[in-house]
Structure formats: C-alpha cells, structure tokens
C-alpha cells in the first residue's frame, strides 16, 4: 500500500486540516483585514468629501484614545457599566426560574401565554417615563428597565431549552424514584444551560442599549447617554467628533462583553462544542 493510500492511524492529527491555533490566527487575521478595510473606506470617503458631516477615521480614533484618559468620560462609562452589571444578574434570577416553571408545567404556560405575548412586544424604551415615575433615583429606573428588557431573551431561551430536553432522560430519572424537583435540577437545567447562556449573551447587549437609552432620555443622570447629549448639543466638528468617539466606545464595550461571554461559553460548555 502506497503512502498516498495509507489511512491515517487513530490518534494521529489530520495532515490536511490546520491546527486549532493556526485556524484561530487565520480567523483573527481575517477580522483584522475586515476592520482595516472598513477604516480605510471611512477615511477615504471623509477626505473626499462624500460625507461632509462625517469626521475622518483617523481623527475619530484619535478622539477615542483621548476619551480613554478623560476623567469625566470615565465616570460616565462607569455609571453605564454599573447599571448594566447590576441589571443583568437580576434578570437571570428573575427569568430562569420563570422559564423553568413555564417549560415544565404546561398548564402554567398555557395560562400565562396571553400575558407573555402581550408584554413581550412592548418596546422597553416606551416604558422609560413609567419607570422614572415609579423608581427614583434614575439609577433604579435604569436597573428596573434593564431587568425587564433583558429578562425576555433569557426567559424564552430557558423555556425552549427545557422543552428540548430528552424525554427519555427525564422518564429514566422518574423511574428511579426521583421527584420533579430532582428531575429539573439533574436533567432539565443542565440540558437547557446552553440555551440559557445564549439568552444571557443576547441580554448582555440589551443591558447596554437600555442603560444608554435611559441616560439619553433623562439627560442629567450621568452615563454614556448623558455624555452623548452634551456632545450632540455642541457646535462644529468637535461636537461630531465627540459623538462618533462615544459611539465607538459603546461599540467597543459591547464587543468586549460579547468576546468575554463567548470565551466563557467555550469553557463552560466545552462538551457541546466538541
């Protein structure tokens, strides 16, 4: 048998497939090329006057770097992150038990379906005046709205994750005399955990959106939203630079949170990726 037709032995790496580290480097390189191309197009379009209102990418990135050392902006950024960090765990504590209840007790899910479908489509931004009326100071309104908005993706993913549990596993556990609580704890919750985590990832971006929206609506409460209002009421190119730089910072924070959650997901659910 020739070398070309000899099958690979068990345990030997596939010679035709790149190593994980090499594949990861290639992926990062493609990401970098995409970002560089976007920045180049932005720079050329701004300098050619195609978008007169848009500052050049180089000037915008320079302002982004300056804001990193601005104590006022650092305080606003910390205020936004504090509200988001407080609201997301509360949303998990609220949504996961409700999702487990709805997913494991069909009668409760059918009874509350109309209420859930009525509340879920309501835009959270439209509830800002109501939240400001019931919750004072503004930080409480931000957290309350974050909990409301972030709970929906977690709840829905928990509900469908529990429904996706293998019925053979649950029936097997019941046949050994385990009660409903033990079945939920030992089978339903671990099986639905990847779905729940996906809901948490989706909710993480919602927390930033709601926090900035409330800050923008209230104005003087601090945070990235308040900084955006001050920047947008300025005059001239410097005002637009501040607006663009603030938006870039908001995007960078969201990207960093998503990357951290993705890495944590690979570690927590390594069996699923395998």
The tens digit of pLDDT for each residue in 160-197 reads 888 887 777 777 777 777 777 777 777 878 888 889 99
| Residue 36 sits in the same domain as residue 94 | no
Look at residue 10 and tell me whether its pLDDT is greater than 50.
no
pLDDT at 12 (0 to 100): 52
The answer to whether residue 12 sits within a structural domain is no
| Residue 190 sits in the same domain as residue 70 | yes
Q: Which of 79-93, 203-217, 236-250 has the highest mean pLDDT?
A: 79-93
| Residue 30 sits in the same domain as residue 66 | no
The answer to whether residue 17 sits within a structural domain is no
Look at residue 98 and tell me whether its pLDDT is greater than 90.
yes
The answer to whether residue 130 sits within a structural domain is yes
The answer to whether residue 3 sits within a structural domain is no
Q: Which residues form the domain of 46?
A: 26-51
pTM over 0.75: yes
Neighbour count for residue 82 (Cβ, 10 Å): 16
Cα 254 to Cα 248: distance, rounded to the nearest angstrom: 10
Percent of the chain with pLDDT over 90: 24
Across the chain, mean pLDDT equals: 83
| Residue 90 sits in the same domain as residue 38 | no
pLDDT at 192 (0 to 100): 85
| Residue 141 sits in the same domain as residue 193 | yes
Higher pLDDT: 132 or 261? It is 261
Cα 213 to Cα 246: distance, rounded to the nearest angstrom: 14
Look at residue 23 and tell me whether its pLDDT is greater than 80.
no
Domain count across the chain: 2
| Residue 131 sits in the same domain as residue 173 | yes
Higher pLDDT: 50 or 86? It is 86
- Residues 30-43: what's their mean pLDDT? 90
| Residue 181 sits in the same domain as residue 76 | yes
Higher pLDDT: 3 or 27? It is 27
Contact 160, 100 (CB under 8 A): no
| Residue 61 sits in the same domain as residue 175 | yes
Cα 255 to Cα 76: distance, rounded to the nearest angstrom: 18
Q: Which of 5-9, 126-130, 193-197 has the highest mean pLDDT?
A: 193-197
Out of 51, 67, 86, a domain closes at: 51
CA-based Rg of the chain, rounded to a whole angstrom?
A: 24
CATH number of the domain residue 232 falls in = 1.10.3720.10
pLDDT at 94 (0 to 100): 94
The answer to whether residue 242 sits within a structural domain is yes
Q: How confident is the model at residue 22 (pLDDT cuts 50, 70, 90)?
A: confident
Percent of the chain with pLDDT over 70: 89
Question: Which residues neighbour 122 within 8 Å (Cβ) at sequence distance 6 or greater?
Answer: none
pLDDT at 126 (0 to 100): 85
pLDDT at 177 (0 to 100): 75
The answer to whether residue 248 sits within a structural domain is yes
| Residue 186 sits in the same domain as residue 167 | yes
| Residue 39 sits in the same domain as residue 70 | no
- Residues 152-160: what's their mean pLDDT? 92
The answer to whether residue 134 sits within a structural domain is yes
| Residue 39 sits in the same domain as residue 75 | no
Higher pLDDT: 28 or 261? It is 261
| Residue 30 sits in the same domain as residue 131 | no
The answer to whether residue 47 sits within a structural domain is yes
Higher pLDDT: 184 or 60? It is 60
Look at residue 237 and tell me whether its pLDDT is greater than 70.
no
Cα 199 to Cα 188: distance, rounded to the nearest angstrom: 16
pLDDT at 5 (0 to 100): 47
pLDDT at 25 (0 to 100): 79
pLDDT at 4 (0 to 100): 46
Cα 180 to Cα 177: distance, rounded to the nearest angstrom: 10
Neighbour count for residue 216 (Cβ, 10 Å): 19
Q: How confident is the model at residue 92 (pLDDT cuts 50, 70, 90)?
A: very high
């Amino acid at each position: 048998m020739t070398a070309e037709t000899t099958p690979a032995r068990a345990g030997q790496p596939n010679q035709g497939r790149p190593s994980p580290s090499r594949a990861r480097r290639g992926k990062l390189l493609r990401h970098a090329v995409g970002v560089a191309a976007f920045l180049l197009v932005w720079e050329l379009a701004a300098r050619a006057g195609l978008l007169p209102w848009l500052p050049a990418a180089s000037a915008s990135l320079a302002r982004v770097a300056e804001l990193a050392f601005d104590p006022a902006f650092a305080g606003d950024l910390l205020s936004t992150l504090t509200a988001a960090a407080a609201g997301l765990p509360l949303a998990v504590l609220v949504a996961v038990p409700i999702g487990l209840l709805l997913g494991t007790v069909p009668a409760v899910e059918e009874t509350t379906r109309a209420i859930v479908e009525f509340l879920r489509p309501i835009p959270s931004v439209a509830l800002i005046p109501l939240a400001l009326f019931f919750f004072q100071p503004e930080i409480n309104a931000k957290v309350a709205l974050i909990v409301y908005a972030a709970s929906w993706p977690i709840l829905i993913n928990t509900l469908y994750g529990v429904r996706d549990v293998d019925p053979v596993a649950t029936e097997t556990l019941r046949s050994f005399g385990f009660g409903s609580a033990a079945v939920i704890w030992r089978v339903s919750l671990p099986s639905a955990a990847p779905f729940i985590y996906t809901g948490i990832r989706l909710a993480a971006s919602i927390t930033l959106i709601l926090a900035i929206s409330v800050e923008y609506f209230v104005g003087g409460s601090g945070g990235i939203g308040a900084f955006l209002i001050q920047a947008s009421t300025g005059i001239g190119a410097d005002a637009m630079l501040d607006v663009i730089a603030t938006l870039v910072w908001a995007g960078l924070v969201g990207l960093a949170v998503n990357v951290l959650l993705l890495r944590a997901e690979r570690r927590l659910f390594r069996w699923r990726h395998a």
